[in-house]
Every structure is written in C-alpha cells, then in structure tokens.
Amino acid sequence: MSETHIPDLRAVEAVLELQPETKYPETPFFTGPEAPCRFEAEVYNCVVRGEIPKQIDGTYYRCMPDQLWSPMYEDDVFINGDGAIDAVRIKDGHADFKQKFVRTERFVIERAARKSVFGKYRNRYTDDIRVRHKIHSTANTHVIYFEKQLLALKEDSLPYAMNPDSLKTIGVYDFHGQYTSPTFTAHPKIDPHTGELITMGYEAKGDMTTDIAYFLFNKDGKKLEEFWFNAPYSGMMHDMGATDHWVIFVLTPLAAVSMDLLKQGHKHFAWDKEKPLMFGIVPRRNPRLEDVKWFENKNAFYGHTGNAFEKDGCIYLDAPLTYQNKFWFFPPVGEDMHTTETAKPPQTGPVSHYVRWKLDPNATTLKVEPVEMVDLDGEMPKVDSRYDTKPYKYFFLAMHNPTAKEEPVGGSYNAIAKCNVDDGTYEYWYAGTGIAVHEVAFIPRHQDAPEADGYLVSIVNRRDTLLTNIIILDTLDMEKGPVAVIELPFRLRNGIHGSWVDGKDLPGAEDLCDMHGVTDEIKAEFGNKP
Ligand code: V55
Ligand code: FE
C-alpha cells in the first residue's frame, strides 16, 4: 500500500464526529479562544516573570462560566456556563493556582447524566422535565467572602458556600434560614466600616414577578432588615448600590418576557426599547413602602455600579452607561440577535461613558439625567473596597484603548485604567493586540495605605498564545505595566467578577493545592522560610 493511503491524524480527525455531549455550537460563545475548558486544575508555585511584591499576602478568587456539556439549545449564551472558581494564592512572592467547579445541583445532576439536562438561561420550561424544579444556579457570576466562607453567586438562585482554603463546595447557603427569597443578587455590597452585607433578590416571588426582597445582615450574618416591595416592571436587576443610609435598586430595560412566551421556550429577557432605566431608592434601615421612590432615566443599558455615596442628603450613583443594549444576545421580542438594530455599536466614539446620577430623596420630579465623569469606554469598574458605599476619588476600569485600531477582542477589553472621578483624568495600561483583560481586584499596599495606593491583580486571556497570564500592576505606576506576570500553562475563558481576600482574614486551615505527604517534619527541614 502506498503511503498516501494511510490517513494521518489530521485526516482522521477531519472525518470523525465529536461525541454529542461535547460537540458545542459553532458560535463565538463556544469556539476559538472561548471553547469550553472543562477541567479543574492546580498549579503549585506558578511560573512568574518579574517579582511579586513580598508584602502581598492573600487570595484572589474569581468566577469563570464554562459549559461542561454541550448546551441543549444552539443559541445558548456565555453567561449560562457552569461556574468554575479560580483561586490565586499569593504569599512570600510566590503564587499557587487552583480552578474548581462549584458543585451546584446542576453540576452534580449533569455529571451523572454525562450531558446537559438543564435548558436555556433562566428558562426552566426548556429543561428536561425531571429537573424543572431543581436549583438552577450555575454559581458563575461573582464570588464574595462573608462569614469566613466564599459565596459563589448567580442572581437566579441562592448562593453556594465554599471552603476558601480548598474550594470544596459546602452547599446552598440561606443565612441559617434567615434569607427568604429564592433569588440572591450577584452584586451585594459590603460596608467596609460596619462589615454589613446589603443584598437583595429580584423576581423574588417566582419567574417574571416584579417582587423585590431587600435584606441587611450584620457582619456575623444576623438579619437586621427584610423588606419586600415591587418594581415598576420586571426586568434584569443585575447590580445595585448602597450608601450609609440608602439602598439603590437598578432596573434595566432587559425586560422579562411574558410567562406565556417563557413557557413557549423564549429567552427569559428581551431588550425593550420603550422602557426606561430606573433606580429605586429604599432606606437601608427601617424601610417602609412610603419611602420607596423610583427615578427614571431614558432607555439605556446599565451594567455595573462603580460606587454610590451620600453628600448633603443626596444619593450619588456612579457607573458606566451605554445607550444601546450591551446584552445583544437578549434582543427585543421578535428580533434576531445577529441583526437587531438595538445592539449595533455606533460607528464612531466610545460606547460607554462613566457617569453620575444625583438621586434626591426629597425630589418632586423623578426624571433624572446623568453627568459624564470620565470619558472612557469601559466596564467592570472597581473602587478600593475600603471606599465602597462612601465618597471616593479613584476607580479602576477594564477599558477599550481608544488609540488601538482593533475592536475589543471577543467582546472583552484590552486595557486597564485608573481614573480620578473628581477631575475626569485617567492613566491606563494597554495590554496589546489580541489580549483580553477583565475585571481587576485591588490590593491595598498596606493596611493604612491611601485610597487606591497598592496593586491590581487580574487574569488575562492570551488569545495570541492561547494561554493565560495573571498580572500584577502597581497603581502608582500604571503606565509601566505589570510588575509581575504569572504564567499559566493553559487557556482559560473570559472571566466575570472576583474578590481579593487578605491572608490574615482567611482560615488557612487547609492548603489550596494538594500537599499530601509533605509532613511537618519535611516542612521543618526543607520549608521555604522567607
Ligand atoms: C451578568 C452576568 C451573568 C448573569 C446576568 O454581567 C448578568 C452581567 C455571568 O452571569 O447571569
Ligand atoms: Fe456582574
């Protein structure tokens, strides 16, 4: 037989079909650099270029949606992926990494099934009938630290608690039975002075309902407030805001479709060009229905809160604002996500602006218009968490470099900015062509460091090499670029939100990576003592 008749591996691969449970849709959410990763990983002592500042001691946690199984529907969306939690433990100039999936009910059932049995994003009527009434959380949106546990969050369900040392899933968390809504926001706020947790659930009496449940917990997890009220319409309420005396509820025109449409298998949310963006204010303590006020902004997309604070009796809310639907994959009812007019980027100029709303609790007119604070196209704003809910001066932003020729890669950003909200000035560092940057976490240089003086940590997708970097920037010299680049020998997908937890606050009872066999004797003799 001549050699030409023996197919090589590439030729074989070209004719063999992928098995159905891992054959993903040929859409940008599942192909190329966004192909699902599907693994759990540990890297003890990562490869590091440069020097990780020795005073950094803590762990960066963040969520990455990653569909373990090919979705039941071709039009599945990125935000429906199973929640993988990444942890980067930094100490003594070294970094250890671990990635583990949250053991949600969906994870364990689908692991047994070896395929997807949960259907579309927030549409239980598209599920395998056997799981319709199970917990739908993918725990893929944000991971926060409260009561010495990680809480992995998805706004359609309760949090999942995890062990912060090992990333083992503990289970669904309802604050010892005190939390009574079936839903819990992915963006609760923690008051850095009191340690209180300000949180809420929307669609709190079931799919498509306008009910909102507000909760305030003290730092030990004791419920201080529970207050139920209604939104003017049912829509996505992804982020929120809080100040010393007020809580702000953000209602976006990504409207919940009718129950009939949901039952017919429609996507849960659809952009509604006619609806305003609205802000509901509620007193943080002793709220009463007569204190609730809804302010109205024209139709616009609101993603994430930068910060909120109070001054002279007024509430200020700061965030990037976009006059088009950034969630193009939830188009208006009857429109196609690939051709809808509501999500086309404008031909010129930045897409979002960082703006400020003034919400006056005594106002008689409830129409509001924001003022632009910083002219940068970005999202995922983060302040120094010691200034959350308080007046502040600086924030960090994942942004699109305005001088770069390329579009933000894969819907992500390519630069990181440090912005001064008082005068609109900023500095930024551009990561380069084909490199996707995401939300940062801020690490104070030391406990008493001035506002925004410290380091940023973020996970960066190298679409050029199909690998991953974790970068550390010095906030006093952003333009210099990272002081350390941690290299992971594999590709990760786009990440969502995360938190930095200081080492002194972590239990530290277990190791992040598997240290089995490394006895105390071995440690005593060979241990790396700085
Ligand atoms: C967002 C992300 C979500 C979600 C709803 O960033 C909104 C916005 C990762 O999941 O379910
Ligand atoms: Fe978010």
Are 512 and 495 contacting, i.e. CB atoms less than 8 angstroms apart?
no
| Amino acid 237: pLDDT | 99
Which amino acids bring their CB within 6 angstroms of ligand 1? 65, 79, 140-141, 155, 238, 496
Give per-residue pLDDT as tens, 55-73: 999 999 999 999 999 999 9
Give per-residue pLDDT as tens, 136-194: 999 999 999 999 999 999 999 999 999 999 999 999 999 999 999 999 999 999 999 99
Instruction: Report the nearest-CA residue for atom 11 of ligand 1.
Output: 79
Give per-residue pLDDT as tens, 95-141: 999 999 999 999 999 999 999 999 999 999 999 999 999 999 999 99
The secondary structure of residue 82, as a DSSP letter, is P
The Cα 455–Cα 477 span in angstroms is: 10
91, 225, 78, 9: which is closest to 513 by C-alpha?
Answer: 91
Which of the four pLDDT bands, split at 50, 70 and 90, describes residue 410? Answer: low
Strands 435-436 and 254-256: unpaired
Ligand 1 atom index nearest CA of 496:
9
Please choose from 155, 301, 304 the residue to mutate so as to test ligand 1's pocket, defined by most ligand atoms within 8 A of CB: 155
Residue 407 scores a pLDDT above 70? no
Backbone angles phi, psi at 521, to 5 degrees: -65, -45
The Cα 243–Cα 315 span in angstroms is: 7
Kindly give the distance from the C-alpha atom of residue 186 to the centroid of ligand 2, in angstroms, as a whole number: 6
The Cα 93–Cα 346 span in angstroms is: 44
Kindly give the distance from the C-alpha atom of residue 514 to the centroid of ligand 2, in angstroms, as a whole number: 31
Residue 75 scores a pLDDT above 90? yes
Provide mean pLDDT across the span 222-232: 98
Which ligand ends up closest to the CA of 79?
1
Which of the four pLDDT bands, split at 50, 70 and 90, describes residue 412? Answer: confident
| Amino acid 347: pLDDT | 45
Q: Is 350 exposed, middle or buried, given 0-12, 13-18 or 19+ CB atoms closer than 10 A?
A: middle
Residue 52 scores a pLDDT above 80? yes
| Amino acid 520: pLDDT | 94
Give per-residue pLDDT as tens, 439-455: 999 999 999 999 999 99
Ligand 1 atom index nearest CA of 156:
11
Which of the four pLDDT bands, split at 50, 70 and 90, describes residue 5? Answer: confident
Give per-residue pLDDT as tens, 468-501: 999 999 999 999 999 999 999 999 999 999 999 9
364, 275, 361, 374: which is closest to 313 by C-alpha?
Answer: 361
Provide mean pLDDT across the span 335-348: 74
Q: For the residues of 166-211, what is the DSSP string, one character each?
A: T--EEEE--TTTT---S---S--EE-TTT--EEEEEESBTBTT--E
Torsion on CA atoms 175, 180, 183, 188, rounded to nearest 10: -50
Ligand 1 atom index nearest CA of 121:
11
Backbone angles phi, psi at 429, to 5 degrees: -120, 130
Kindly give the distance from the C-alpha atom of residue 400 to the centroid of ligand 2, in angstroms, as a whole number: 18
Which of the four pLDDT bands, split at 50, 70 and 90, describes residue 339? Answer: confident
Q: Across the chain, what does the average pLDDT equal?
A: 95
Which ligand ends up closest to the CA of 305?
2
Provide mean pLDDT across the span 336-364: 82
Please choose from 137, 203, 236, 238 the residue to mutate so as to test ligand 1's pocket, defined by most ligand atoms within 8 A of CB: 238
Residue 459 bridge partners (DSSP) = 470
Backbone angles phi, psi at 139, to 5 degrees: 50, 45
In the sheet that 211-217 helps form, which strands lie side by side, from edge to edge?
189-190, 197-202, 211-217, 223-230
Structure tokens belonging to residue 81: 């992926």
Which ligand ends up closest to the CA of 137?
1
Structure tokens belonging to residue 357: 């709303």
The CA distances from residue 75 to 24, 28, 142, 329, in Å, are 11, 11, 23, 9
Structure tokens belonging to residue 61: 């946690």
Ligand 1 atom index nearest CA of 65:
9
Give per-residue pLDDT as tens, 351-372: 889 999 999 999 999 999 999 9
The secondary structure of residue 3, as a DSSP letter, is G
Ligand 1 atom index nearest CA of 141:
9
Provide mean pLDDT across the span 237-252: 99
Kindly give the distance from the C-alpha atom of residue 286 to the centroid of ligand 2, in angstroms, as a whole number: 28
Coil/strand/helix, residue 514: coil
Which helix (H) or strand (E) element contains residue 280?
strand 277-283
Which helix (H) or strand (E) element contains residue 521?
helix 520-526
Ligand 1 atom index nearest CA of 81:
9
Residue 343 scores a pLDDT above 80? no
Handedness of CA 67, 70, 73, 76 (dihedral sign): positive
Residue with tokens 């105390």: 520
Instruction: Report the nearest-CA residue for atom 4 of ligand 1.
Output: 79
Residue 4 scores a pLDDT above 90? no
The Cα 375–Cα 366 span in angstroms is: 26
Kindly give the distance from the C-alpha atom of residue 15 to the centroid of ligand 2, in angstroms, as a whole number: 41
281, 278, 285, 280: which is closest to 191 by C-alpha?
Answer: 285
368, 184, 156: which is closest to 277 by C-alpha?
Answer: 368
Residue type, 223: K
Please choose from 62, 141, 203 the residue to mutate so as to test ligand 1's pocket, defined by most ligand atoms within 8 A of CB: 141
Which ligand ends up closest to the CA of 237?
1
| Amino acid 345: pLDDT | 56
Q: Any alpha helices (H) in 218-287, and if so which ranges?
A: 259-263
Torsion on CA atoms 278, 283, 287, 288, rounded to nearest 10: -60
Helix and strand numbers, DSSP H then E, in the chain: 4, 34
Ligand 1 atom index nearest CA of 63:
9
Give per-residue pLDDT as tens, 287-330: 999 999 999 999 999 999 999 999 999 999 999 999 999 999 99
Kindly give the distance from the C-alpha atom of residue 141 to the centroid of ligand 1, in angstroms, as a whole number: 6
The Cα 252–Cα 276 span in angstroms is: 7
Are 393 and 451 contacting, i.e. CB atoms less than 8 angstroms apart?
yes
Show the beta-strand stretches assigned E in 5-82. 41-43, 47-50, 58-65
